[in-house]
Structure 1
Amino acid sequence: MYEDYEFLKVEPGDDRILRITMNRPEKLNASGEQGHGEQGRIWKDFDADPDMNVAIITGAGRAFCAGGDMAAGNGPLEVDTRDGRAIVRNMLACRKPIISAINGVAVGGGLAVALCADITLASERAVLIDGHIKIGMAAGDHAALIWPMSIGMAKAKYNLLLCEHITGQEAADMGLVARCVPHDDLMPIAEGIAAKLARGPQFALQATKAAVNGWYHHNIAIFEHSLYAEAFSRTMPDAQAGVAAVLKHVEPEFPGVANADMY
């Protein structure tokens, strides 16, 4: 079932825990087109696996996932919106609990994977960045759906519009993640939670997840709107300037055209 994954290291355990690692540490686990596709597809395979009850996803090395690999030509201007849709929709639709162990930087699509999990644990070394505004794009992926429900509208707008770095502790304090823990304790704590869930009453756990996720499904049109806003923003000069600046490792200079009719 999991043999054809390359970006993801997928390890089914005899303890009914599926351990998933985004495994491109030399690129901070930047996903690109192939990785983006796997990040969405894995949740359907996990959901259909009768031997697995809970999943843990983390990143190899010092990052969780740095988003798209723009240097390889697989950045946000090239990745199909269907992959972003699959990540969010498939994680929310998966009947089984998903734990994210956010061990380092989480950006863009990687941040969507981190925050769409059911139990979100951040290392004290974690850094969360939505990242879209920094490269001249609208915040798509998960943000318009997940952030306001997690931290409230005022903080969601503040953080998404300013696009500042959020530490693991700050994320926990504002309610964006469930807990921030010492870095060396991150995986042991995730494993302990996973073991408890794997031994628990599966129907009750899955029914509770489905009921609570009803809040997201009820507002899924907001997510779809954000995807189209992101896709449209990719065609704008701001996005071209933002991506070019990232590739050159310089601060972007946006055209800055203020036109109320643009959107």
Structure 2
Amino acid sequence: MPVRREHRTRTATRTNCISAINGTAVGAGDHAAIVWPLLCGVAKAKYYLMTADFIGGREAERIGLVSLCAPRARVLGRVLEVAAQLARGSQTAISGTKKSLSNWMRMAGPIFDNSLVLEMLGFLGPDAREGIGAMRAKRAPEFPSAKLPGAAQ
């Protein structure tokens, strides 16, 4: 399964990967059930993943979801500075640190598998169809499984 392979590759590679995103970054593919609680804590992970609220760059940095947030004009320059800093550092120490920290991700393998199954099952249901239909029609979704507290069923 390509998603599993990506997860294993991401945690096993010795090469450092620095991402620079100039614009909107959208979820999916980040294996949120594993990564987010490690980055920003369970409470924030639950809040943002369950509400699907928008997270701006500054807020993502504040809660630890991303390492840095830079002004649009400084994104590329800042990522090159970080890359140069890493390149000048002890590669033995940096790769050892990366390997140690990646162990957290590898230990979460069963969580990843469970999360992936639940995500795929969710894509097959009526809520997914309604979400896609609402997005295409540019309207608010009315999910079949939605329940408002106190509302008649």
TM-score by length of 2: 0.87
Distance 1:211 1:144, change over 3 A: same
Radius of gyration: which is bigger? 2
Unaligned 5+ runs, structure 2:
148-153
1:83 matched residue in structure 2: 2
Residue of structure 1 aligned with 2:131, choices 211, 236, 242: 242
* Helix, strand or coil at the partner of 1:161: helix
- 1:203: Cα distance to partner? 2.7
TM-score by length of 1: 0.52
Residue of structure 1 aligned with 2:71, choices 168, 182, 185: 182
Q: Which is bigger in relative contact order (C-alpha 8 A, separation at least 6)?
A: 2
Distance 1:164 1:83 in 2: 28
Aligned residues: 147
**What code does the residue aligned with 2:53 have?**
E
* Helix, strand or coil at the partner of 2:139: coil
Q: 1:64-103 to 2 correspondence within 5 Å?
A: 82-103=1-22
2:56 matched residue in structure 1: 167
State the Cα deviation string for residues 46-103 of structure 1 (Å, max 9, x = none): xxxxxxxxxxxxxxxxxxxxxxxxxxxxxxxxxxxx3333333322221111111121
The 8 Å contact of residues 84 and 109 in structure 1, kept in 2 or not, is answered as no
2:109 matched residue in structure 1: 220
- 1:160: Cα distance to partner? 0.5
- 1:175: Cα distance to partner? 1.0
1:261 matched residue in structure 2: none
The 8 Å contact of residues 245 and 251 in structure 1, kept in 2 or not, is answered as yes
Q: Percent identity?
A: 41
Which structure has greater strand proportion? 1
Which structure has greater helix proportion? 2
2:26 matched residue in structure 1: 107
- 1:221: Cα distance to partner? 1.1
Distance 2:130 2:124 in 1: 11
* Helix, strand or coil at the partner of 2:66: coil
2:48 aligned with 1:148 = no
- 1:206: Cα distance to partner? 1.3
CA RMSD of the aligned region, Å?
1.7
